[in-house]
Structure 1
Amino acid sequence: MSPKSWLRSFHTAPDPASRPVQLVCFPHAGGSAGYFVPLSAQLSGVSEVLAVQYPGRQDRWHEPAIDDLGELAEHVVRALGPARNGGPLALFGHSMGALVAYEVARRLAPARLFVSACPAPSRGVEATEGIRDDADLIADVRRLNGTDTGLLSDPAMLELILPALRADYHAVRTYEWHPGSEPCCPVRVLTGSRDSDTPPHVVRDWKRHTTGECRFHEYEGGHFYLTEHTRRIADLLAADLAPAVR
């Protein structure tokens, strides 16, 4: 797998000579880099936004999906090496992507880590435990309401997207947190007020996973609250990233 295949850029970045913050975004299970196009548009004047494209979807559909979060993190670390612009690095992960971003943060020491809609790594993701087959998997995707229901009702489309979904759910279900070095950067934990997968008791332990400051931010909405509050979240990220460039 070529390192270049892992990262996508959708908008013109600030002048590279200014060494802007690089914000790397990690999508949810079954998601793709394109999910972050709206956020990238909002932040294009502030940072260089890169979105991770996992194999097995969209333009990488012909590649085998990876069903191990640690392996995903290692690939992203390698891909980021030649992509660095010399400026500060920040990571933003949504749902499964938050765990991948966290594992990357343990390896790269970014300036900021933003984790969205995800229990703390040491708690595990209990919502995937009852998923035994494709029917359960599709039902869970419908429950989260982050995927076009038309795609889930189209047998031809399901044939294309199910391999990646199976791999992603397996990666989350089998993820095991191991004690070790933790990110030393500030961590921002974002959740939706109606997201049953991230009640306060499963997200507050994110404070255990940084030696820096940890803050919590709640937005009205469910698991995919981000779609409804892109502007507000972009404002939060921009304000929080500003000190990182000083």
Structure 2
Amino acid sequence: MQDADRWLKRFTPASSPATGRTPGTAALTPLTRIRSRVVCLPHAGGAAPAYQPWARHLPADTELLAVQYPGRQERLGEPCADTLGELADAVAAALAALPVLPTVVFGHSMGSLVAYETVLRLARHAPQALPVRLFVSGAPAPAHDRTNLPAPDDASLLAYVRNQGAAQPEVYDIPELRELLMPSLRGDFALLARYRPARPPARVPVPVTALGGDSDAGCPPESLATWADATTADFASRVFPGGHFYLQGREDTLAGLVTTALRAAAAR
């Protein structure tokens, strides 16, 4: 469980039987009355707490875990991953080490690709840990052309982040914070540029739901349909008003979607 503690952060709401405290984190020790799990993967340059607001919208018997990539926050001293596959290997190993529960995996932007590669690895090496559904958000399927990535210089990366409507882009205007944040932003976009999915792309053996914003230039609504070819199971999609970060302020809606998926799987 030691590696799981490094890679996964658990967020609990005030009503959680785990802690009974305000939304925060808890160690990955066994929780009583937990019957299902939601695992979330953040965007490029992002960190696990991006999903903390979801905790208050999930049922008390659903565990919320978010992946913490190296090179940020408490993992600031660790180098960023060199490849997206390296991230997926580590996340899959961490998930495989957890007690088996009905699970939904949700990834946004870069997190969608890491989630997809993680599920492929679970299918090969730990099928008992496969999720009941994979949610991908703000990203076309792996086979889709990714020529819209920014140039690797800092000015281009920052302009790209601001144009996407990321939360609190002003933090990059503070020199001390920018110095802490830029290495993970550079590292994440570098591994995206190096990412080469299998040809033909492998299909995950679980249902997929693709989500996006109707004004996301990097992932236009029609590109969500490309995920239909990335699964051997059923496929669904949904478009929301908004841009790349359409999910900000919609934590209750998204938590409702993943909860519905867990309940549907339990009813089968």
Sort the TM-score into its range (normalised by shorter chain): over 0.9
Report the equivalent of 2:21.
Answer: none
Moved more, 113-122 or 201-210: 201-210
Q: Does 1:211 align with 2:232?
A: yes
Q: Does 1:91 align with 2:92?
A: no
Report the equivalent of 1:149.
Answer: 169
Instruction: Give the gaps of 5 or more residues in structure 2.
Output: 19-29, 123-129
Shift in CA distance, 180/193, structure 1 to aligned 2, threshold 3 Å: closer
2:38, 2:258 within 8 Å by CA — same for their partners in 1?
Answer: no
Shift in CA distance, 125/188, structure 1 to aligned 2, threshold 3 Å: same
SS of 1:127's equivalent in the other structure is coil
2:203, 2:231 within 8 Å by CA — same for their partners in 1?
Answer: yes
Q: TM-score, normalised by structure 1?
A: 0.92
Cα distance in 2 for partners of 1:31, 1:3 equals 19
Code of the residue aligned with 1:96 in structure 2: it is M
Which residue of the other structure, out of 181, 188, 191, is the alignment partner of 1:161?
181
Cα distance in 2 for partners of 1:180, 1:144 equals 27
Report the equivalent of 2:215.
Answer: 194
Cα distance in 2 for partners of 1:162, 1:198 equals 24
Q: TM-score, normalised by structure 2?
A: 0.85
Query: Alpha-carbon deviation of 1:199?
Result: 1.1
Q: Does 1:26 align with 2:41?
A: yes
Number of positions where the alignment pairs a residue of Structure 1 with one of Structure 2: 244
Q: What is the aligned-residue RMSD (CA, Å)?
A: 1.9
Q: Does 1:43 align with 2:64?
A: no
Post-superposition Cα deviations, 1:165-223, rounded to whole Å, max 9, x if no partner, equal 01100111111111364212111111011111111342211000001111011111111
1:112, 1:186 within 8 Å by CA — same for their partners in 2?
Answer: yes
SS of 2:196's equivalent in the other structure is coil
Cα distance in 2 for partners of 1:166, 1:96 equals 13
Moved more, 173-182 or 96-105: 173-182
Shift in CA distance, 124/71, structure 1 to aligned 2, threshold 3 Å: farther
Which residue of the other structure, out of 150, 156, 176, is the alignment partner of 1:136?
156
Which residue of the other structure, out of 115, 120, 128, is the alignment partner of 1:101?
115
Moved more, 114-123 or 177-186: 177-186
Query: Alpha-carbon deviation of 1:85?
Result: 2.4
Query: Alpha-carbon deviation of 1:19?
Result: 5.7
Cα distance in 1 for partners of 2:32, 2:207 equals 26
Shift in CA distance, 3/234, structure 1 to aligned 2, threshold 3 Å: closer
2:152, 2:190 within 8 Å by CA — same for their partners in 1?
Answer: no
Post-superposition Cα deviations, 1:108-159, rounded to whole Å, max 9, x if no partner, equal 232110001011111043321x414111011111111214132111111111
Moved more, 22-31 or 86-95: 86-95
| Higher helix content, 1 or 2 | 1
Report the equivalent of 2:140.
Answer: 119
1:65, 1:164 within 8 Å by CA — same for their partners in 2?
Answer: yes
Code of the residue aligned with 2:101 in structure 1: it is G
